[in-house]
């Protein structure tokens, strides 16, 4: 999964920006009551082809949010991270790009491997 669409970065418009979550960790804070947090990092590329080609990301972003544990259907923390990112003003215009990130194929040596 990834997010894609038009994004403004440092005053420049990136027409087909590609935002991909690279990592999410959980933590619990027990003071004064128990609170869950998810800390994430994500990379933003010029487009999906730049990511596929192994080009450097334009930037890396990070943040935290309180994940939901109320509904067992939504326990996928990576999916919750993308949902959270779409609530932020900088990324609220981006859309899900499930097909490109899940099924794009990249040659690795003599074999093809799915790019996740």
**What contacts 61, CB < 8 A, 6 or more positions away?**
19, 41, 42, 43, 44
- The domain locations on the chain are 3-107
Average pLDDT over residues 8-12: 93
DSSP 8-70: EETTEEEEEEEEEEEEEEEEEE-SSS-EEEEEEEEEEESSHHHHHTTPPPSEEEEEEE----S
Question: Per-residue pLDDT tens for 19-51?
Answer: 999 999 989 988 888 889 999 999 999 999 999
Question: Considering the entire predicted model, what is its pTM?
Answer: 0.79
């Amino acid at each position: 999964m990834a997010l894609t669409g038009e994004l403004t970065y440092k005053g420049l418009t990136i027409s087909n920006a590609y935002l991909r979550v690279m990592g999410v960790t959980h933590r619990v804070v027990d003071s004064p009551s128990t609170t869950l947090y998810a800390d994430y990092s994500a990379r933003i590329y010029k487009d999906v082809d730049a990511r596929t080609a192994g080009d450097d990301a334009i930037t890396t972003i990070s943040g935290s949010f309180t994940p939901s544990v109320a509904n067992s259907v939504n326990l996928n923390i990576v999916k919750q991270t993308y949902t959270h990112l779409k609530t932020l003003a900088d990324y609220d215009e981006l859309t899900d790009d499930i097909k490109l990130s899940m099924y794009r194929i990249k040659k690795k040596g003599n074999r093809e491997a799915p790019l996740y």
